[in-house]
Chain A
């Protein structure tokens, strides 16, 4: 088995004249928790449907541990999936659905499944028609986390969960990583991605905008720098990467910095800096950097 858990090669999907996904190239490495970010309509779910072989690419191809995604009998032995909008058979109880998923799936740890049912506080005796959105999501999450599949594909899995269950979800993701499972997490919940992901891909209007580690992503983006100084005001306006300079008080400046900090530090050196604080951008700020002006379209 290769070390690439998921691979997309020139993956493209067109619906008539609409290009939902355009030439996506992506490698998800075995054992990592990979965040897949993008606003609504960016093509996240389309990508996942292609990776799962639920839809056929217009061009390009996808692989799951080296197995063609279209070969679902082999590829799906290696993965478990939680859809964005979980629909269940209305007459079946949670327990019956979990049983069906376990018996038809890639192998399930039944003891861990029971533990997850407790942790997610799911009442499995109820018929699915009575479940709320969150409860339906719990059923799918429990079924997926309880498998021993080496890859978990989660499509916006926590949109219906309350904060307590969201915490359980993060715990479950970390345990999955500790067991060596790879997690592909599509989301637009930035705090969640920030909390659990090693690497992040950002999708915008069907294009891959960026792939980076969390820290790399932050480094690529604007840090907020606050300085206090006693000497002459530093000549920052001409320094590449420095923007939005504001005087916040007597001998105090705040500015944003993109890229390597060396040029900015050099011009600060002459100013007699007494205090320097650098705040890394939150994922939200990174996200807004990508989508803020164009609204993702």
Chain B
């Protein structure tokens, strides 16, 4: 009686659908979070080889700017505390951001695309479908928590601290997944839902940064998953209360999801979209203008995020560098921990500007992925049937993305300069701009890789595009940590990035990266010209 058995479990089928949609990304996140944790924990002995190191790293904790940027460095003298400080924020942001994107994509995105109409015409209810999709994301958060805890325990750190940190990360993942699901009930489309949840992530991260940096505002940390994780002080005090607060917050938001869903129609939200508006005909006259039009909105969002972060960098730069300049031993330790040349504003800026290639390379990849998505869901069909060559279609998108990336990195330079200037530090505007522009070839490499994937393997655009800017950075960090041979490190574009404005640009490396970008782009365009559009 197979048919009866199948008919009797609509919920299980929906759960399987939910898992299928997120398993690849979820696996990558869980493995990456656990792997990064294990690798950093393994480097602790290396960093601590110098007997003076423990003391000077502890001294670092007294600097508000360091707290602001990297979190409260508590328990740095233990392998666990050191690991939490080095990767805790990164893994939490990684898991939180993924949970948000996966949740809004599989719930609101599918519903907006009309694919839930059929699903919900069956026996499964809207709240049932939502619960099962959210549960799938939450299962990945739990798996990530288990992975991190396991990695820490396997590295020989005390189990209670490992458990507190792992659970904190997992709970933050649950909280952001639930937040995204709630936002997806409020807004009838995916973009504002994702935007709102990402804003919550950014604001709560900022709240922890401010709470860490400004003692009078320390209470802000109670309002932020990141702050609560810091307050739990893994490996030092192993406090459970902040985690209970985080659990309560995640549970509250989770319960609010079905309550909100019950008050809305399928394909609708709690807020109704405007039903009509006058036509805005700007930037619709050719594909190039249209590519610019479509990039403007995401560009604004990314510029706000990146601008805020680098303003913060600028505001704290003087304080950090003065502190490090007065503590040479500490500066050496910071170099060991992956932050070299932090002793001057120029060096500090140069080090942090290199990080800029990661989000901006990610931006370029996301834009090309969106272009492939437009092709896959047939939005591109009407344009592709116009007298416009394929090369021009993809070329316009690539050029608009490259221009937007230049603007993004310039925003970072401007806000860093403004932050430094506001706090009375010394960083010339031209030096700041040279510094950020120096990272552009790495961004272009990511864009070129994404174009190549668009032309030959559109399904892999996201992965291939992220490889140079994000994969390259991870490679360098990992290679540094495990003391890999030089040629491994040299595979990362970051190892060829000169510390501008501290030093001059490495023009040979820049030329190589630009040439490589050109090859990738031309090959991608060639592939796109001859392949079938996805249907």
Give chain A residues whose Cβ lies under 8 Å from the Cβ of B384: 52, 54, 72
User: Counting CB contacts under 8 A, is B277 at the interface?
Assistant: yes
Measured between C-beta atoms, what is the minimum distance from A243 to chain B in Å?
A: 41
Query: Interface digits, B378-390 against A, CB 8 Å rule (1 contact, 0 not)?
Result: 1101111111111
How many Å lie between the Cα of A99 and that of B281 in the bound state? Answer: 7
Segment at the interface with B among A120-128, A170-178, A203-211, A219-227: A120-128
Q: Kindly name the residue among B277, B290, B388, B532 whose own CB sees the greatest number of chain A CB atoms within 10 A.
A: B532
**Quick one: closest B residue to A52, CB to CB?**
B385
Q: Give chain A's interface residue range (CB within 8 Å of chain B).
A: 35 or more
User: Counting CB contacts under 8 A, is A39 at the interface?
Assistant: no
Contact B531 A143 (CB under 8 A): no
Contact B383 A96 (CB under 8 A): no
Measured between C-beta atoms, what is the minimum distance from A235 to chain B in Å?
A: 54
User: Counting CB contacts under 8 A, is A297 at the interface?
Assistant: no
Contact A55 B532 (CB under 8 A): yes
Measured between C-beta atoms, what is the minimum distance from B129 to chain A in Å?
A: 20
Measured between C-beta atoms, what is the minimum distance from B265 to chain A in Å?
A: 13
A126 and B378 contact, Cβ closer than 8 Å, known pairs A54-B533, A56-B530, A72-B387 = no
Among B279, B284, B290, B294, point to the contact of A124 (Cβ < 8 A): B279
How many Å lie between the Cα of A278 and that of B276 in the bound state? Answer: 55
For chain B, the count of residues having a C-beta within 8 Å of the partner chain is 36
**Quick one: closest B residue to A80, CB to CB?**
B385
Contact B278 A125 (CB under 8 A): yes
Contact A99 B284 (CB under 8 A): yes
Contact B387 A74 (CB under 8 A): yes
Among A76, A88, A95, point to the contact of B385 (Cβ < 8 A): A76
User: Counting CB contacts under 8 A, is B325 at the interface?
Assistant: no
A83 and B387 contact, Cβ closer than 8 Å, known pairs A100-B284, A123-B276 = no
User: Counting CB contacts under 8 A, is B110 at the interface?
Assistant: no
Query: Interface digits, B512-535 against A, CB 8 Å rule (1 contact, 0 not)?
Result: 000000000000000000111101
Give chain A residues whose Cβ lies under 8 Å from the Cβ of B532: 49, 54-56
Give chain A residues whose Cβ lies under 8 Å from the Cβ of B83: none
User: Counting CB contacts under 8 A, is A89 at the interface?
Assistant: yes
How many Å lie between the Cα of A41 and that of B362 in the bound state? Answer: 39
A83 and B277 contact, Cβ closer than 8 Å, known pairs A56-B531, A96-B284, A99-B284 = no
Contact A93 B276 (CB under 8 A): yes
User: Counting CB contacts under 8 A, is B275 at the interface?
Assistant: yes
Give chain A residues whose Cβ lies under 8 Å from the Cβ of B383: 100, 104
User: Can you show 20 pairs from A to B with CB atoms below 8 A apart?
Assistant: A72-B384, A76-B385, A77-B387, A80-B385, A81-B385, A88-B382, A90-B112, A93-B276, A93-B277, A96-B280, A100-B284, A101-B386, A104-B290, A104-B387, A123-B276, A126-B276, A127-B274, A130-B273, A140-B382, A143-B382
* Chain A interface (Cβ < 8 Å from any Cβ of B): 45, 49, 52, 54-56, 72-77, 79-81, 83, 85-90, 93, 95-97, 99-101, 103-106, 123-127, 129-130, 140, 143, 153
* Chain B interface (Cβ < 8 Å from any Cβ of A): 112, 189, 273-281, 284-287, 290, 294, 374, 377-379, 381-390, 530-533, 535
* Interface contacts beyond A72-B387, A96-B279, A100-B383: sample of 12 additional A-B pairs, CB < 8 Å, sorted by A: A54-B381, A72-B389, A81-B385, A83-B385, A86-B382, A87-B377, A87-B378, A87-B381, A93-B276, A99-B279, A104-B388, A106-B387
Closest 10 CB pairs of A and B: A81-B385, A95-B279, A125-B276, A87-B378, A55-B532, A76-B387, A77-B387, A100-B284, A104-B386, A87-B379
